[in-house]
Amino acid sequence: MQREFDLILQGATGFTGQLAAAELAKQAPADLRWAIAGRDASKLKTLSEKWQVPFVVASGLDETAVDQLASRTRVVISCAGPFARFGTPLVEACVKHQTHYADLTGELPWIHQLIQKHHKQSTADGTTLIPASGFDSVPTDLTVFHCVRHLQGEQPGDGENSTHSTVDVGALTGQYTLRGGFNGGTLASGLELYEKYPEVMQGFNWEVFEVPVLNRWAAPFLMAPVNEWVVRRSAALLDEAGVGYGKNFRYDEFMTAKTRGRAAMLARILKLVQYLMSKSWGRETLRLFGPKPGKGPSKKSRERGFAKLHIIHSGNREVGKLSMTGDPSNLITTRCLVQVGLALAAGEAQRGGVVTTAAAFGDTLISRLRLLGDQFVIK
Ligand SMILES: NC(=O)c1ccc[n+]([C@@H]2O[C@H](COP(=O)([O-])OP(=O)(O)OC[C@H]3O[C@@H](n4cnc5c(N)ncnc54)[C@H](OP(=O)(O)O)[C@@H]3O)[C@@H](O)[C@H]2O)c1
């Protein structure tokens, strides 16, 4: 496909957008023709001089501008959220022009709408659309994929698809240990989501329980509803292709703490957030006192962050682990999004449709992240 650009980064002026541009400048192959985009020409001009790449002005709400943007490139990656507010015309333009697309949304009702409207057409056209290509939910999706393939008896990470089977792996549990900050953009997206769709707060497992195999305690995890849904979608898409996870497969996710008391405190904090989100005065309070759009953790705190995900089989055996360095919301998120974008630009996606990273790439994306130091380990 001949286009002016291989890849355009939309929302490049925001907090994650600027980090994604820095990551692209580091990781893009020398011959990749990439550009940055956003709604503010003067901010874009400064950044385009910094990274020595062209820029495109396109507000997410201007249908003509995003239509032109999508027609000029083979791939779009987007950090312009809340996505339910700014993202729909861009996805529509990508489907129309058969431009591959990935973003950072965790807004499940919006992803459901994209599937309903665009999955069939984009599957037929071979256009790959991958929402949730940040910390939610690439690390979870790929680690579960990797462990399932191992449990099904395949040598993990060998890049071959020929021996995948649908051997049933039963129940897996993901246990996260994390250190990281929180962005104003994430809070803005969360507030908007819960205002429109209060029911999304219902998906938590509130259990606090001991995980003897890790010598830690499990607590409910804010991102679990999104990550669990993405894993279920991967399982369903792979099952359609005859290479699923088995019909009794299930996946639940938690975050861990050293003691029962700390795990119970994490659960209480999440309950409080849920309560505040459910009230309009609570949302106003969070908007007033929480981080503002465009703001996020300091460089030092981004560099001190990390994420570890342990995968437990049948509640008692650790089968695999992922270790990633950097603040999950920012460094891990932009590393994942940029690699998804580069993989799309390199023609590595195995299918079209509104899909997940496990269904589109599987082992090839794991290999890309491994080259950057992310450790996918089978126990
Ligand atoms: N998946 C994950 O793990 C993960 C992690 C972090 C963030 N996120 C999500 O990523 C999104 C961005 O987060 P952030 O921290 O980078 O937020 P942010 O700093 O507030 O950035 C938002 C971006 O959207 C742009 N924007 C606003 N209105 C627009 C419009 N009409 N057209 C085009 N662009 C527009 C902003 O442009 P201006 O600069 O001109 O204002 C800015 O570039 C949020 O939805 C957040 O929830 C996901």
pLDDT in tens, 105-140: 999 999 999 999 999 999 999 999 999 999 999 999
**Span from the CA of 11 to the centroid of ligand 1 (angstroms):** 6
Residue type, 269: I
User: What pTM was computed for the model?
Assistant: 0.96
pLDDT digit string (tens) for 214-235? Answer: 999 999 999 999 999 999 999 9
Using an 8 Å Cβ cutoff, are 39 and 57 in contact?
Answer: yes
| Same domain assignment for residues 169 and 310 | yes
Tell whether omega for the bond before 122 is within 30 degrees of 0, i.e. cis: no
| Same domain assignment for residues 170 and 116 | no
Q: Is the pLDDT of residue 207 over 70?
A: yes
Q: Is the pLDDT of residue 159 over 60?
A: no
340 in a domain, yes or no? Answer: no
CATH of residue 16's domain is 3.40.50.720
| Same domain assignment for residues 173 and 270 | yes
CB distance 143 to ligand 1 below 6 Å: no
- DSSP annotation string for 236-272: HHHHHTT----TT-EEEEEEEESSHHHHHHHHHHHHH
* Residue 268: Cβ within 10 Å count: 12
Q: Which residues contact 312 (CB under 8 A, 6 or more apart)?
A: 172, 173, 174, 175, 211, 213, 214, 318, 319
- Which residues form the domain of 144? 138-328+371-378
CB distance 185 to ligand 1 below 6 Å: yes
Looking at residues 235-257, what average pLDDT do you find? Answer: 94
pLDDT at 206: 86
87 in a domain, yes or no? Answer: yes
pLDDT at 324: 98
CB distance 36 to ligand 1 below 6 Å: no
- Which residue carries 């309009």 as its tokens? 280
pLDDT digit string (tens) for 37-92? Answer: 999 999 999 999 999 999 999 999 999 999 999 999 999 999 999 999 999 999 99
**Span from the CA of 68 to the centroid of ligand 1 (angstroms):** 21
pLDDT at 169: 86
Q: Is the pLDDT of residue 360 over 50?
A: yes
Number of domains in the chain: 2
- Which residue carries 């399932």 as its tokens? 148
Q: Of 218, 146, 216, 222, whose CA–CA distance to 180 is shortest?
A: 222
Q: Is the pLDDT of residue 366 over 70?
A: yes
